[in-house]
Structure 1
Amino acid sequence: MIIISGYTGFIGQNLLSCLDNSRGISLRTANWQDRMDGETIINLVGKAHDHKGEATEKDYAYANVDLSKAVFEAFLNSSASLLIHVSSLAALEEYEADKPLEEMAVCHPSSWYGRSKRTAEEWLLNQKIPAGKKLIILRPPMVHGPGDKGNLGLLYKWVSKGIPYPLASFNNSRSFISIANFCFFIQEIIRKQDQLESGVYHVADDEPVSTKEIFNIIKKVTNKKVINISLPKYLVRTLAKVGDIIPIPLNTKRLKKMTSNLLISNQKIKDALGIEKLPLSAKEGLEKTIRSFGD
């Protein structure tokens, strides 16, 4: 039996669909610790980015640190031999990395979200893992797929309305992971867990893509003839600063996410599991996600 804590979200629902003999549990249920009766526990409990700005630092600490500690303690007292703790690339870096980041890179989380994810990682890595048990910490970049629009949904709406892409003067490269490839990694980790040492592993698609490429994929999928405009970078940055004050679709934080490089390497886990190539290329995964927006 595979136990998934935090199963109600996008990733959890997809894992329940792809993993045989899996069951979700809620930490809001009384005596939830007694239900950790599987061979593998996947911990998805946590609080993601709060785009409305309503969450506090304590909210992140409780959801991402305190609850992770509770799940780990339950793991120690259970019959499970494997705990897969899903962290985030934000625990390492949130905005910019021009070269693919490896697992031993120095961490620079900058938000309450990223810092809380890193704090949980540090606590877990400092715990003694008993013989016969294993802890795998995964750091994915943005996970996308049918059922979750996120920032891709914003670009999709942009194209659907026929709005020209104004950021063509920026050339960037970013790592993503499709939910199909994420589920594949989880399946392989469970199946080949004896080949892995406890520790941190990065999971991502094999190829990075640019925001401009994503925009072109959306145009292809939607068959919309929307033009790309190369506005001067200084003008775009000025407009983004205006967006920090007035609620328009672009602000400095969003601009940085859409135009900076943020790359991570998935080579460590691929080498450990003997994976040469993931099931979907980055572009295939993006096309699949974007097609779902029109369903």
Structure 2
Amino acid sequence: MEVILTGATGFIGRHLAKSLDNLTDVKLTCAVRRAGSSNCDREVVVNGLDSDTDWSEALTKKLVVIHAAARAHIVKDDLPDPLSEYRKINVDGTLNLAREAASAGVRRFIFISSIGVNGNINQRPFTEEDRPNPSEFYAQSKWEAEQGLWEIGKETGMEIVIIRPPLVYGSGAPGNFGALTRWVEKGIPLPLGAIRNQRSLVAIDNLVDLIVTCVEHPNAANQVFLAGDGEDLSTTELLKRVAQAMGRPSRLIPVPEGALMFGATLLGKKGVAQRLLGSLQVDISKARQLLGWKPPVTVTEGLTKAVGSYRCE
């Protein structure tokens, strides 16, 4: 099966490319902006990822597209219209790729979206049937791309598969997990010893396994799936588990959540505090039931592998 992967140089893409390359029934090609920038055996150079990108050569004879490339961060928060910057890549670039893929005869288009499409906080686990409620520009752009993909699928018959992961962790993970890991590794005392929230995470090995399952599984066609480990943790428990996996003490101070939120709000960091203090759970029963999928890695195994380079001898 001919598969093309975008975002192969990113955190998710690197792990996904390695897994796909090991499958004997998959012939993987990675779309890159610079030759030799990925670990893939086969590459095709594609300049840019916007509404004008020409994918015709890259998509020749491909049956499946896995679109993991995206613009996740905008450095300058003072841009007059940051949403438009996200849209250029995450919406316009995605839909341009999808249209060209359909024209080239691609059978299935797998889009790596974000749980942020559902929202960034909840009181019960999100499901695929919940009304989308994106509250950040990145998530809004992902939601708009999803809507456009469904329209293209209806018009062309190309199968659409959408996967919405929560925070993805693993060795070398960027973002919030990377920051938490560095804090624990440095032994920095953290005022997060009394947090009783519940957060769903997904180990990179579990996310990759779900994506690979969706490449060929007939029941994945035209479906949305939420990804997760199947075990939720409070921020306090996560930090304790990370410290344990590192073989280091967890230096957590039990400060009341209300005091933390109040202080963060005064400092203009309410969004950061919500991610640390609020709950965000996902229900992965649809993937379990429809695909027969289950996370192959436990949270303990995933965290041990993620922080292995930090372990004390």
TM-score normalized by structure 1?
A: 0.89
Matching residue within 268, 275, 292 for 1:257 = 275
Residue matched to 1:12:
13
State how far apart, in whole Å, the 2-side matches of 1:31 and 1:197 are. 26
State how far apart, in whole Å, the 2-side matches of 1:126 and 1:80 are. 16
State how far apart, in whole Å, the 2-side matches of 1:69 and 1:6 are. 15
State how far apart, in whole Å, the 2-side matches of 1:136 and 1:159 are. 37
1:79-109 deviations in Å (ceiling 9; x for gaps): 3211101111111212x11211111101111
State how far apart, in whole Å, the 1-side matches of 2:147 and 2:63 are. 24
Matching residue within 230, 246, 254 for 1:222 = 246
1:60 aligned partner, one-letter code = Y
The equivalences for 1:239-250 within 5 A come to 239-244=263-268
SS in 2 for 1:19: helix
Residue matched to 2:142:
117
State how far apart, in whole Å, the 2-side matches of 1:184 and 1:128 are. 24
Higher RCO (CA 8 Å, separation ≥ 6 residues): 1
State how far apart, in whole Å, the 2-side matches of 1:167 and 1:117 are. 31
Among all aligned residue pairs of Structure 1 and Structure 2, give the percentage whose two residues are the same amino acid: 27
Residue matched to 2:305:
288
Q: CA deviation at 1:242?
A: 4.2
Moved more, 53-62 or 66-75: 53-62
Q: CA deviation at 1:146?
A: 1.6
Matching residue within 58, 71, 74 for 1:47 = 71
The equivalences for 1:31-180 within 5 A come to 31-37=54-60, 38-50=62-74, 53=77, 56-94=82-120, 96-129=121-154, 133-180=158-205
State how far apart, in whole Å, the 2-side matches of 1:172 and 1:233 are. 10
1:22 equivalenced with 2:28 (yes/no): yes
Q: Structure 1 pair 50/286, CA: closer, same or farther in 2 (3 Å)? A: farther
2:182 aligned partner, one-letter code = K
TM-score normalized by structure 2?
A: 0.84
1:210 aligned partner, one-letter code = S
2:11–2:174: 8 Å Cα contact kept in structure 1?
A: no
Residue matched to 1:247:
none
1:267 aligned partner, one-letter code = S
State how far apart, in whole Å, the 2-side matches of 1:162 and 1:6 are. 34
Q: CA deviation at 1:155?
A: 1.8
Q: CA deviation at 1:280?
A: 0.4
State how far apart, in whole Å, the 2-side matches of 1:4 and 1:54 are. 33
1:238 aligned partner, one-letter code = F
Moved over 6 A (4+): none
Q: What root-mean-square deviation, in Å, do the aligned CA atoms of Structure 1 and Structure 2 show? A: 2.2
1:42-74 deviations in Å (ceiling 9; x for gaps): 012321144663662211011110011111111
State how far apart, in whole Å, the 1-side matches of 2:250 and 2:111 are. 41
1:167–1:231: 8 Å Cα contact kept in structure 2?
A: yes
Moved more, 156-165 or 136-145: 156-165
Q: Name stretches of at least 5 consecutive residues in structure 2 with no aligned partner.
A: 22-26, 33-45
